[in-house]
Amino acid sequence: MTSADPTRWTRRSRALAADSWGGLEVPLAEELEAYEVEILDGPAVKRVLSTETTSALYTAAQQTADWGAPLAPGDTLDIRIFQLSALVGRGAPKTVTLIL
């Protein structure tokens, strides 16, 4: 997840119409599309990125501020992605480990 290589994901939906095994992009069922991505250091949250698309960019400047230097190829990064909802607030998170 570098300045040139944003992390992307496929959104989930709370709509009944999204309940399929197709693995395709689902209807949003929300007035606005919004996500928060937590950058983790063990259990601690280093930074929260906000985005209105299914991708987020963790810039080299942000990485340097958080870790003392930009992340390098082969490094790992734990992130937690939340879809925001007007009705539910932060939905259930998806936690993943990225290998850069």
Judging by DSSP bridges, how do beta strands 94-99 and 76-85 pair with one another?
antiparallel
**Residues, the chain:** 100
Long-range pairs for 10-17: beta carbons < 8 A, 24 or more residues apart: 10/54, 11/35, 11/54, 11/83, 12/83, 12/91, 14/85, 14/88, 14/91
Total number of domains constituting the chain? 1
Higher-scoring residue by pLDDT: 52, 22: 52
Residue 23: CATH number of its domain: 2.60.40
Q: Report yes or no on 2 lying in a domain.
A: no
In tens, the pLDDT along 40-69 reads 999 999 999 999 988 999 999 999 999 999
Res 88: pLDDT: 79
Task: Read off the pTM.
Answer: 0.72
Least confident range from 25-29, 32-36, 46-50: namely 25-29
Containing domain of residue 49, as a range? Answer: 7-99
Average pLDDT, the chain: 82
Q: Is residue 1 part of a domain?
A: no
HSE of 40 in the Cβ direction (CA atoms, 13 Å)?
Answer: 16
- Maximum mean pLDDT: which of 6-10, 75-79, 86-90: 75-79
Q: What is the pLDDT of residue 71?
A: 95
